[in-house]
Amino acid sequence: MWLAAVAALTLTAVLGPRTESPAQDGVRLGAKVDLNDNLPPEARGITVVQNLGDVIATNLPLTDSEGNAIKTGYIFNGNLPTIVTLNYSDCPMLCSVQLNKLTESLNQLDLQLNKDFKILTVSIDPNETSRRAAETKDKYVSVLSNQPGAEQGWTFATAKQPIITKLAETLGFKYRYDAANKQYNHPAMLAFVSPTGVITRYSLSIDFPPEQLKLALVEAGEGTVGNAVDQFILWCYSYDPDSNSYTPHAWRIMRLCGLGFIGVLLTALVPYWVGRKGNPEARQEADSVPTFPGSDSRTDGNAPSQNE
């Protein structure tokens, strides 16, 4: 106890008596205070507006990692759904974390790149070269051991600033260039796009569980991806924007259980009903009136004659 007292006296001597600042006085008097929202200025406004249902134009010019001039219609050609990401090769951290997590999930996915879906990664840096984009592509495609079609199915592309701006606006991707640090401040985003360019779903985290990835691709595929079981599973789930994931659809599952119960009940009762209708002897036996010893079994309604 005496040690605590000595420490308190020492701090008082060093720091001096406690005084309240004018700001503290103002708070006590009920003055208006602007609370800090814990976001640094460079991070404010960096977000994704989910433009579900919007369509990506098919005439936006891009340059792929091999230096070929292509348009977005080359990707959104009506055949396969596409995962769209906006990144850049010189990103100091977030892009690498996001794409590393994506490749981990792709290696666990039972859907195949270039067969069931495609990926389009467009650089948000207008100064990025095709050669630099090719280096980035090799970095991630090389680790996709379970995706043999990754080389053809994953397109890395660059574009001029007006095209980048147009694509980002369509996707609701809000980013900003930080001139002081010479880097782009941007969110993490996967956009799932239908074969015709319609935005169907977003993933706004850096972790992409394979089962969630598959559900989003099946939904974006509009019946072209997955088998009947996958479509049925998707029917039982709905997307929850608050948790940014697919969750079981309680009402649909309850309906399904109710239909299943009715089906089991009919399966048990129908053979019984059909058997009764198809067996006259069983029906006659069930409908006959029992007789007892000594009773008259005649059914013609006439009394017995005296000669009998």
Predicted confidence pLDDT, tens digits, the chain (308 residues) = 443 443 444 444 434 444 444 433 443 344 333 333 454 555 678 999 999 999 999 999 999 999 999 999 999 999 999 999 999 999 999 999 999 999 999 999 999 999 999 999 999 999 999 999 999 999 999 999 999 999 999 999 999 999 999 999 999 999 999 999 999 999 999 999 999 999 999 999 888 899 889 988 988 886 544 444 444 444 444 455 555 554 554 444 445 444 455 555 556 656 656 655 655 555 555 555 555 555 554 444 454 444 44
Q: Which residues contact 135 (CB under 8 A, 6 or more apart)?
A: 89
* Rounded distance between C-alpha atoms, residue 140 and residue 131, angstroms: 15
Helix (H) / strand (E) element for 177: namely strand 176-178
Residue with tokens 């309680």: 250
Whole-number pLDDT of residue 224? 47
Asked whether residue 257 is marked as a ligand-binding residue, the answer is: no
Whole-number pLDDT of residue 131? 97
**Domain architecture of the chain: domains with CATH:** 61-207 (3.40.30.10)
Q: SS3 for 250-271, per residue?
A: HHHHHHHHHHHHHHHHHHHHHH
Asked whether residue 249 is marked as a ligand-binding residue, the answer is: no
Whole-number pLDDT of residue 284? 58
Whole-number pLDDT of residue 82? 97
Q: Which of 89, 49, 102 is nearest to 184 (CA)?
A: 89
Whole-number pLDDT of residue 137? 98
**What pTM, to 2 d.p., does this model score?**
0.65
